[in-house]
């Protein structure tokens, strides 16, 4: 399972001119399930995301986690993270989980996030979304949790 994390001052997701998810300071997490992923990978990815120390402490060093600072978490599904660009100019998305599995793992990830963290907002799986953000830093971190071999 993959995620691209962006530390944000604010972020929101708009679908059909309606804001469906919005946070202030925190993390925007673009997440993607790959073929072979299970709930175990989703749980590992979430645990890493919540504890990743990418927020400033009193000395200005990245030493605090999302949970430490109590920031918002905006979770957006993004199958294009699984793009393979090694052959030609058109990306292949063959590594992305099929939509039914992708949606199930996304919903699992969101449900677990809501249990583990106070403020969780989401996009809408499978929808055409406009994601607006003010990147803070900028800080952008890729995360990957691979399924067992």
Asked if residue 110 is part of any domain, the answer here is yes
pLDDT value for 146: 79
User: What are the pLDDT digits (tens) for 56-103?
Assistant: 999 999 999 999 999 999 999 999 999 999 989 999 999 999 999 999
Q: Give the closest residue to 73 by CA, choosing from 37, 123, 38.
A: 123
Residue 30 pLDDT > 80? yes
Domain total of the chain: 1
pLDDT for the residue numbered 106: 98
Question: Has residue 88 been placed in a domain?
Answer: yes
Per the domain annotation, does 146 fall within a domain?
Answer: no
Percent of the chain with pLDDT over 70: 98
In a domain, 19, yes or no: yes
Is residue 104 within 8 A of residue 58, CB to CB? The reply is no
Name the band, by pLDDT with cuts 50, 70 and 90, for residue 118: confident
End-to-end CA distance of the chain: 14
**Run of H or E including 115:** helix 99-116
In a domain, 115, yes or no: yes
Answer yes or no: is 145 within a domain: no
122 within some domain: yes
Q: Which residue has the higher pLDDT, 149 or 19?
A: 19
Catalytic residues: 78-80
147 lies in a domain? no
Supply the CATH number for residue 119's domain: 3.50.80.10
Can you say whether the dihedral through the CA atoms of 84, 107, 31, 12 is positive or negative? positive
The answer to whether the bond into 48 is cis (omega within 30° of 0) is: no
Domain assignment of residue 18, given as a range:
2-140
**DSSP-derived 3-state class of residue 127:** coil
Is-above-0.85 flag for pTM? yes
Q: Compute CA distances 64 → 26, 49, 118, whole Å.
A: 12, 12, 16
């Amino acid at each position: 399972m993959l995620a691209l994390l962006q530390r944000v001052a604010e972020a929101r997701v708009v679908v059909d001119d309606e804001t469906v998810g919005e946070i202030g300071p925190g993390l925007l997490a673009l997440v993607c399930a790959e073929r072979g992923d299970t709930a175990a990978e989703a749980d590992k990815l979430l645990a890493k995301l919540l504890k990743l120390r990418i927020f400033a402490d009193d000395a200005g060093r990245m030493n605090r986690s999302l949970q430490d600072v109590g920031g918002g978490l905006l979770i957006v599904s993004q199958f294009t993270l699984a793009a393979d660009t090694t052959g030609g100019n058109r990306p292949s998305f063959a590594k992305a989980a099929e939509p039914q599995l992708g949606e199930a793992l996304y919903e699992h990830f969101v449900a677990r996030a809501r249990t583990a963290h106070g403020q969780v907002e989401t996009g809408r799986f499978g929808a055409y979304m406009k994601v607006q953000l003010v990147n803070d830093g900028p800080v952008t971190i890729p995360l990957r949790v691979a399924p067992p071999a």
